[in-house]
Amino acid sequence: MTIRVLLADDQALLRATFRILIDSCDDMVVVAEAADGREAVDLTRTTRPDIVLMDIRMPGTDGLAATTTLCADQDLAATRVLILTTFETDEYVARALRAGASGFLGKDVGADVLLTGIRTVASGDSLLSPQATRALITRFLATPEPDNHLAAPELLAALTAREREVMTLAAEGQSNAEIAGVLVLSPLTVRTHIQRAMNKLHARDRAQLVVIAYQSGLVRPTPPPPRH
């Protein structure tokens, strides 16, 4: 299956570079380019890409607003948003994850990391396991926004005890292999529990499942240490 990608970035040179890189792969193709968030939303609705590679900071309608609109559109449930950012320093990334983005990459990543990231998100997984992501989740998602619960705490009652365990470890940034080691399960069994929890909580993907864990109160992270 060919992964169809939409590029959303206000820098034409960067879009051109990404297009050359992505189009050089046999398993993916760029179907459209957008220079701002509004254009990204319009083109996503007409081209229905599998992945939107979304820059956060764009003139006019920014990537955050565009991500919120795309992830709220039930007709675009099959489209995943992969955020481009400056990693841990960008608070907007956490807001994009709350809105439904499937993960993020730094603009300075290598070609192999970018292509692997696109394939990872297209497969239904999310980019929430690296150390930098754990730091970002702890720093920003630890502070819930008023009236912004993706799932009411009582909805967690639908989960089995094992599903709650697995969801908690996933929210702490552990990979399926790491969770399997902690709970003495196979990675395939862990993946099954993750999928069942996603289905019960109507989460788009693993990234949203992690956000739900924080917003519902299932996980209460330790605040980051004070800066000196």
Write the pLDDT tens digit of every residue in 105-144.
878 888 998 898 899 888 877 665 444 455 556 555 555 5
With the C-alpha atoms ordered 177, 182, 188, 192, is the resulting torsion angle positive or negative? negative
* Alpha carbon separation from 154 to 115, 158, 165 (Å, rounded): 39, 8, 16
For residue 154, what are its two tokens? 């009582």
The pLDDT tens digits for 164-206 are: 999 998 887 787 888 999 999 999 999 899 989 988 988 877 8
Q: Which letter does DSSP use for residue 218 in this model?
A: S
* Alpha carbon separation from 110 to 105, 171, 201, 224 (Å, rounded): 10, 26, 35, 29
Pick the CATH number of 153-215 from 3.40.50.620, 1.10.10.10, 3.30.70.20, 3.40.1180.10: 1.10.10.10
Put simply, whether the predicted model's pTM sits higher than 0.85 gets the answer no
Query: What pLDDT is stored for residue 177 in this prediction?
Result: 86
Annotation: CATH topology of 3-127: Rossmann fold (3.40.50)
Contact 137, 209 (CB under 8 A): no
